[in-house]
Chains A and B, each alone.
Chain A
Amino acid sequence: MSAQRYDVVIVGGGIMGASTAFHLRTVHGKSVALLERGFVGAGASGVNFGNVRRQGRFLPQIPLSHRSREIWGRLPELLGEDCEFLPTGGLRVAYSDADMAVLEKHVGEARDWDLHLDLLGLNAIRSRWPWLGPDVVGALMSPADGHANPRLVAPAFGRAARRAGAVIHEHCEVADIAREPTGFRVTTRTGLEVRGEVLLNSAGFWGGAIAASFGEPVPIVARGPQMAVTEPLPYFMEPVLGGVSSDIYLRQVKRGNVVYGGGLRGPVETDPPRGRPVPDLSIAQWGRVLRFVPVLAGAQVIRTWTGVEGYMDDDIPVMGESGTTPGLFHAFGFCGHGFQLGPGVGAVMAELMATGRTVTPIEPFHIRRFAHLKPARPA
């Protein structure tokens, strides 16, 4: 029996894989099969903090981030739902002159990348957000950033891709990828076999193992950012909050719950994947949350969680074509900042695979930056 053949086979249905499937179908008309070990968008993509933030990024990533932001604004039109994306503005606060200097520098450099930020002094902050803690001395506002509900976004991309004709197999863990004269044959643990002209490795942390199996190992580790949410409180915190040195970030959803995260990242289990928050790390967040937003004292924390995220040693993802294998493409290892990028990464990877090039610069993320690393066994 010959396996069904597709233009593109996608391994991994997080936000990267799901959004790539969507763009391959809707923009480029390619046939697509996506294989996901669990549910689409239930990994890092479904449990992250939900920050749709451009400021404070690695500067050469800002064009990709802009492209993504443009798609965020069109989710209702593209997916038929807004996934609770709220462009409330994102505020990065300073606790000290040193922090303030970092923000001042960023205003200028970001402007060169077409990201316009407003530097706010103490008076502006006190009058607009009187509930910020007394240690806050200034802040940088990115007016069109915001936040969204991560549990909804990747599944919505997956459903929209399916409606547009993509074949989506959930609960199908890829066990083997074999190179063929033209393209790839992919076999899952459930016994399914599919062929693809082109293969996208969007397997998150596990993308590292897939790359290594094609003779291009990368320095990736799995860690779990620690997250928590309070009971619903009266809505007061409009912007998403982050800090320069405070290492805590917060947002309030319209229902009233305050979601926060930050601090040390905990260990996670990757096979099978399981993120369990570390109690001591959760406790260590409380003081930082209260320094930032003192009025949260006494608010009840109702849930903590974490997820499995892949971090590269240089803190930027792997994106682009393989350095060893024609037809293989990578988009993995998003180092804790892939949620905002997801919609744009899908558009860019689809464009790259369908047309051989992309208008958005992604050179700095190419896997060949790790070419000096020796494969575990010679290819």
Chain B
Amino acid sequence: MVDPRIVIVGAGPAGTRAAETVVRHGLRPVVLDEAPQSGGQIYRRQPPGFSRDAKVLYGFEAGRAGRLHAAFDALAGKVEHHPGTLVWTVRDGAVHTAPADGGAVGRFPYDALVLATGACDRVIPFPGWTTAGVYTLGAAQVALKYQACAIGGRVVFLGTGPLLYLVAYQYAKAGAEVAAVLDTTGFAAKAMALPKLLAVLPALAKGLYYLGWLRSRGIAIHEGVVPVRVDGADAVEGVVFRSASGEERRIACDAVGFGYGLQSETQLADLAGCRFAYEPQSRQWLPEADADGRSDVAGVYLAGDGRRVRGADFAEMAGELAALAALGDRGIAVDQARMAALRRGLDRGLRWGQALQAVFPVPHHFLADLPSETVLCRCEGVTVGDARRAADDLDAREINRAKALSRIGMGRCQGRYCGLSAATILADTAGEKPETAMRIRGQAPVKPVPLRTEEAAS
């Protein structure tokens, strides 16, 4: 019997554990990741030549990061690893790749495909968010973690989610001036109000620690705010917000990091043909999978934040479990007790994930009050008003229809950053539930691929 070909997309916590599991069962998987090194988002490694201490880079997570990196490094020679390689589409039992260095495109046929594609920042637009100097929280963190750069000299962090206080803390610790943290949800009060069991969630405990640390350094923290606008024509000069008591306030700064938690990167699952279901808390349509990560498409498995945002620890479990499922489905003996334990762990993850979303709710309601000239789709320059007009005047209440008629989500990010907000705006305008606007259908390439001379891979 020929060995099944197992392809893993993503070398973060989920992908690393999936690869390790496959190797442990005597097979040699292909591991593809567009990043130059393994580690994924949270345990992103610094570029060669940088020598910051793990404790500086990963804080509380230094131990986990070290273990995950060691686990991947131990697979050297036992996996076919292609870093710096974007998977730009999936079709007919093969993934198609384009290397970041402009080299030849590739095609990897698979018997089992594990998609461990992670998450990206959730954005809700507000006036001025496209001004130079405004970053997502994730991007602000990447700048620091990867390149050891700060996004500005005097930075405001805005939004909600576990990253808000974490990134503010990381910046302050690295010596950047944090002008203020503007929290749209009132995290501390919410976390305290949770039942004991949930309040000890590591993410919350850490969040409270960062918050306390920032306060003790005299950094202003405003809870329950509504962002009003970013000031500055060519570059950020300040942020205006409405405080919990309703007054408008301005904080001078030269950079803003903002975001509202994470959203799953689901485009490859979509192109692979997986069925999606609506998840009301996040208002995201997510690919469906059973407890082990099997999607409804034979041979396609989903793991980690790309399936559902549950954080790195659960991503590791999900990666291992999906790999075991893929191996077991191909007639390879796997440890059933281990699978059962992982399922139980992930079940806990699901509940924790829901609790986190309750503590850091996405402020969908901000969208209804946005001025119509606010840019919604920055790639194509489509405004909130354009979207409302599409729903009203052109009867385009379904997002793909609105995309066709107004260009929302037609640009290079493929609607990653505007799609979820646009769906809510269309539904709000039509007076319908948000899920009636549906989701932007995935289209290849999931990220841009440069034109070059190339014959089709055979």
Contacts and interface: CB of A to CB of B under 8 A. Distances in A.
Given A155-B394, A283-B456, A42 B401 contact: yes
Contact of B456 (A231, A281, A301, A304): A281
B450 A301 contact: yes
Nearest to B456: A280
A117 to B, nearest CB: 30
Interface string A356-379: 000000000000000000000000
Contacts of B271: 276
Interface string A153-178: 00100010000000000000000000
Contacts of A181: none
A277 B401 contact: no
Given A279-B91, A297-B452, A298-B450, A303 B443 contact: yes
B450 A287 contact: no
A18 to B, nearest CB: 14
Contacts of B395: 159
Interface residues of B, number: 32
Nearest to B400: A42
A302 B448 contact: yes
Interface in A269-310: 276-284, 286-287, 289-290, 296-305
Interface string B439-458: 00001110011111111110
Contact of A287 (B94, B394, B455): B455
Interface string B64-87: 000000000000000000000000
Nearest to A289: B451
Contact of B412 (A231, A277, A296): A231
Interface string B414-458: 100000000000000000000000000001110011111111110
Contact of A298 (B405, B451, B454): B451
B345 interface: no
A233 to B, nearest CB: 11
A39 B448 CA distance: 28
B328 interface: no
A138 interface: no
B229 interface: no
Nearest to A301: B449
B192 to A, nearest CB: 46
Given A155-B394, A159-B394, A279-B91, A300 B448 contact: yes
A255 B382 CA distance: 13
Contacts of B410: 303
B105 interface: yes
A152 interface: yes
Interface of B: 88-89, 91, 94, 96, 105, 107, 271, 380, 394-395, 398, 401, 404-405, 410-412, 414, 443-445, 448-457
7 contacts: A151-B404, A159-B395, A279-B107, A297-B452, A301-B445, A302-B445, A304-B443
Interface of A: 39, 42, 46, 151-152, 155, 159, 230-231, 255, 276-284, 286-287, 289-290, 296-305
